[in-house]
Amino acid sequence: MAKGYRQVSLPEPLYEQMLEFLKSHPEYTSVADLVKELVRRELRNEK
């Protein structure tokens, strides 16, 4: 794992949903990119 990064476990059904989502959203290149974007959005909304 690259320095400065952490791993996060996802339930298999959620991971599969994300893979399906990625098929129609090429702006995200991986599940990791999608998760980063979604977490950032959620944290911005908490302020």
User: What is the per-residue pLDDT for 12?
Assistant: 98
Instruction: For 17-43, give one letter per residue: b (16+ CB within 10 A) or e.
Output: ebeeebeeeeebeeeeebeeeeeeeee
Question: What pLDDT tens digit does each residue of the chain (47 aa) get?
Answer: 678 999 999 999 999 999 999 999 999 999 999 999 999 999 999 87
Alpha helix positions (H), 1-47? 12-23, 31-46
In terms of pTM, does the model score above 0.85?
no
Give the alpha-carbon dihedral of 28, 34, 37, 43, to 10 degrees: 170
CB 19 within 8 A of CB 25: no
User: What is the per-residue pLDDT for 46?
Assistant: 87
